[in-house]
Structure 1
Amino acid sequence: MEFEESFVIKRIDKMNISAAAERMQMMTVHCLQCNTVMADSLGVCGEVKCMDSLLCLKVTADVVIGAVDESGRGQEMANCIYSPLRCRCCHSAVGRVLHSTPSRWASVRSFFLLHKANISCYLLDSPSLVKASELSLDLKPLKLCINEATQQVEEKLQQMSLIQSRLADRTISSELHH
């Protein structure tokens, strides 16, 4: 969707937002059918590509967790027990929460998995609501982020050491002149 004067229109062309994902752009996640807000970027942890789902730590109250646990069928969901997630407003299926899984899915148990085919994303610094299936959250590996943070801290430490030595030089210089 895009703003056009005072209303929003749906956007059907693909939008290049990989740069947005790289800097983890602020966004809201909506039901594709009725545009109800399901989550926001603060609750999105990443994506599970083989399930074509966004991985969310939290969702809004408009996401209803199904009361009946279902047993997964098919390759990806074999031997999994999960609850379906539905939109409170239009009752569309929007995802699932895995409760019991084989060890390969242990890391996503109890997280909200929102199916990208059933949601859209509103990018807060752009006037567009895009299909989540067009969004790729290729987040940097944690080790890379830690290495970058370490480098930044070391650079700041060098700057502080330089300032400290300059202050020490000034102190010695001023004591000699007194």
Structure 2
Amino acid sequence: MARQIDHLSRSDDTYLVSEDSSALDIDSKKEDYGDGEIDAPAIFLCGKCRLPFGDSLSWAGSDDEQNQILLKRVNENIVVGKEPFVYGTNEEQRCLAVNLTCRGCSVKLGHMYMSTPKSLDYKRSIFCLMVENIESYVLGSSDQQVAAVDSEERPVTLEYMDNVERQMTKIKSLAVTIGQRLLEIEVDLQGKLRTT
């Protein structure tokens, strides 16, 4: 029947499934993200409150039938349930599992199998996350935009500052000249009004 194994440990702010668990492993680590042929790392977020909880560097596989992704490691934003329940409808596929919920909004993100039949041993003690309840963001994805600096929003340089200061000095000088001229006109008008 099923074996019960608990390989879940907590290290700093990350939950980690120990290496001797029967999880799917990534065939090879992908490290070169610049040439576009290899997938860049992805960040996984809660679909409701967008709280990040893991990344693709802890990828353990996926289950297309169940519409799940499998991670070996997540951070403290995933709350591992304490109450196990029986999961599965087919008697040969029944498992003992606990819920995985988001710390931010308490939405159910998936579950973790604590005890499995032999056919599901690869999922035991792995974070099984429901794709419909999560979002992902690929680092360096093409939908990112480069900050556009048009001619009117160019960076401030010393040369630009000198030019602005010269123009401000001219404007101040012109304002003083206009002010003096208006004062002279006012004095002249007051003198003319007194004589009449």
Q: Which bracket does the TM-score occupy, shorter chain normalised?
A: 0.5 to 0.7
Alpha-carbon distance between aligned partners in 2 of 1:78 and 1:59, rounded to the nearest angstrom: 26
1:65-123, Cα deviation, whole Å (9 max, x unpaired): 01100111324994200010000000000011101111110111001011101000001
Alpha-carbon distance between aligned partners in 2 of 1:31 and 1:77, rounded to the nearest angstrom: 31
Q: Does residue 1:26 correspond to 2:41, yes or no? A: yes
Q: Does residue 1:95 correspond to 2:110, yes or no? A: yes
The runs of 4+ residues in structure 1 deviating greater than 6 Å are: none
RMSD of aligned alpha carbons: 2.4
Number of residue pairs aligned between Structure 1 and Structure 2:
109
Between 103-112 and 42-51, the greater mean CA deviation after superposition: 42-51
Alpha-carbon distance between aligned partners in 2 of 1:91 and 1:128, rounded to the nearest angstrom: 30
Alpha-carbon distance between aligned partners in 1 of 2:47 and 2:132, rounded to the nearest angstrom: 8
Contact 1:29 / 1:120 at 8 angstroms: preserved in 2? yes
Alpha-carbon distance between aligned partners in 1 of 2:100 and 2:54, rounded to the nearest angstrom: 13
Q: Does residue 1:68 correspond to 2:83, yes or no? A: yes
Cα deviation for residue 126 of structure 1 reads 1.7
Unaligned runs of 5+ in 2: 1-36, 145-196
Partner residue in 1 for 2:61: 46
Partner residue in 1 for 2:120: 105
Secondary structure of 1:50's counterpart equals coil
Partner residue in 2 for 1:120: 135
Q: TM-score, normalised by structure 2?
A: 0.51
Alpha-carbon distance between aligned partners in 2 of 1:93 and 1:87, rounded to the nearest angstrom: 7
Contact 1:46 / 1:54 at 8 angstroms: preserved in 2? yes
Q: Does residue 1:55 correspond to 2:64, yes or no? A: no
Q: Give me the identity figure in percent.
A: 28
User: Cα–Cα, structure 1 residues 52 and 81, in superposed 2: closer, same or farther, change >3 Å?
Assistant: same
Q: TM-score, normalised by structure 1?
A: 0.56
User: Cα–Cα, structure 1 residues 128 and 92, in superposed 2: closer, same or farther, change >3 Å?
Assistant: farther
Partner amino acid for 1:92?
V
Contact 2:92 / 2:117 at 8 angstroms: preserved in 1? no
